[in-house]
């Protein structure tokens, strides 16, 4: 479904500040995989997402989505196939537009023959039905500007916008990190529900080791631009957080020093 083949990226190449962010990294995701990605700061987690999303070109290697090579596909064209959420709830929505206007933008992008003038009653009913699934009361607030919503409400709305038209791939870049614990749990619950309902192939960066073992069906751990651990099945079901930390130490020859992960 998604295949990264020996991808490499060095920033500031040829300068004293050169940094190899991705080091011959390869991974294969199968349809419906939900992969949690963990690793310390600078491990290359967000860089992988940026590579998949097309934020920069690779130095070498290939990215295949449904067996089609998208390595050189422009970012805006990849966005038509790939949904993405960021850590900042303010990204992904237009704050000065209403909820229904934000949803209409997604709907228009997926329906190229749709005119840009007005929202039909049928579309409005569709938006209400999708919002009702979030169980946040947003279906009764279609005319409210998104900028007036709480961070959790905005992130839930962004999640809906990214999946309303089922994407081929969903990238979640620490999408609950800026939320309070109770709201983060709610958004993670919604995430699991929406991903399962649509059987959406998903990658999720998280700083919470427990979440990385409880959500989805695979956990990968990164270090120095490489994947050093990829566990699934019975091994993943049986492993504990201390055992995972010990595996990290064994595979990387270092101790995990990211306080956000250790304290989560």
Q: Which distant-in-sequence residues (6+ apart) come within 8 Å of 141 by Cβ?
A: 99
Question: Which residues face 27 on adjacent strands?
Answer: 4
Q: Which architecture, in CATH terms, is 2-81+167-263?
A: 3-Layer(aba) Sandwich (3.40)
Residue 92, CB half-sphere, CA atoms under 13 Å: how many?
25
* pLDDT, the chain, mean: 92
pLDDT of the residue at 219: 97
pTM of the model: 0.94
pLDDT at 41: 87
Interaxial angle between packed helices 99-110 and 151-163, expressed in degrees from 0 to 180 and rounded to the nearest 10: 20
* Domain boundaries defined on the chain: 2-81+167-263, 97-166
Q: What is the pLDDT of residue 94?
A: 94
Buried b (16+ CB within 10 A) or exposed e, 26-59: ebebeeebbbbbbbbeebbbbbbbbbbbbeeebe
Q: What is the pLDDT of residue 109?
A: 73
Residues of the chain with pLDDT under 50: none
Q: Quick one: pLDDT at residue 112?
A: 62
pLDDT of residue 84: 96
């Amino acid at each position: 479904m998604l295949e990264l083949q020996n991808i490499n990226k060095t920033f500031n190449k040829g300068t004293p500040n050169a940094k190899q962010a991705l080091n011959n990294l390869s991974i294969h995701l199968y349809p419906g995989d939900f992969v949690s990605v963990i690793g310390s700061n600078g491990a290359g987690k967000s860089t992988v997402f940026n590579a998949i999303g097309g934020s920069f070109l690779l130095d070498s290697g290939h990215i295949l989505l449904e067996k089609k090579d998208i390595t050189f596909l422009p970012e805006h064209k990849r966005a038509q196939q790939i949904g993405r959420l960021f850590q900042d709830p303010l990204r992904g929505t237009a704050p000065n537009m209403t909820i229904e206007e934000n949803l209409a933008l997604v709907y228009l992008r997926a329906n190229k023959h749709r005119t840009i003038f007005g929202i039909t009653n049928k579309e409005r009913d569709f938006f209400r039905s999708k919002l009702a699934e979030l169980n946040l009361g947003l279906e009764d607030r279609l005319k409210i500007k998104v900028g007036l919503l709480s961070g959790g409400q905005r992130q839930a709305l962004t999640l809906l916008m990214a999946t309303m038209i089922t994407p081929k791939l969903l990238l979640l870049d620490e999408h609950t990190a800026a939320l309070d614990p109770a709201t983060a749990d709610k958004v993670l619950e919604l995430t699991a529900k929406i991903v399962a309902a649509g059987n959406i192939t998903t990658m999720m960066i998280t700083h919470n080791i427990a979440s990385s073992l409880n959500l989805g069906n695979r956990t990968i751990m990164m270090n120095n631009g490489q994947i050093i651990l990829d566990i699934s099945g019975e091994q993943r079901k049986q492993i504990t957080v201390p055992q995972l930390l010990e595996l990290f130490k064994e595979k990387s020859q270092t101790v995990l020093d990211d306080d956000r992960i250790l304290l989560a």
